[in-house]
Amino acid sequence: MLNNEQLKSFETGVKYQMYHAIVLLFVGFNFNLETASEKYMVYSFIIGMLLFSFSIYGLVISSAKNKKLTFLGPITPIGGLFLIIGWVLLVVSVLNMTF
C-alpha cells in the first residue's frame, strides 16, 4: 500500500516516537518532576512526539489514499521544535543535578 518513500517517512515517525518514549522512561525514573523546567521538559517531549510523529503518520497515510492532508505539513516542524526544547530542558536539568 505504501511506496518506498512513504515507508521511509513512516519509519522516521516511528523511530522518533520510540526514541522519545525511551527518553520519557529515563526521565520518569530519574527525575522527581518537582521543578517547573522538569515538568515543561516532559510536556515538550509529549507534545513534540504527538505533533511530529502523528503529523508524519497522517501525511503518509493520507498520501497513500490520494487524499493528502497538506495542513499537516507545517505541523511537523512545530513538533520538532518542541522536541528540541525538551532536549534543551533535559540537558539543563542534568547539569543542575550534577552541580
Q: What is the largest CA-CA distance in the chain?
A: 54
* 51's grid cell: 505533533
Dihedral angle, C-alpha 52, 16, 41, 28, nearest 10 °: 140
| pTM > 0.95: yes or no | no
* 12's grid cell: 522516521
3-state secondary structure of 2: coil
pLDDT in tens, 17-59: 999 999 999 999 999 999 999 999 999 999 999 999 999 999 9
pLDDT of residue 15: 97
Indicate the domain borders of the chain: 4-98
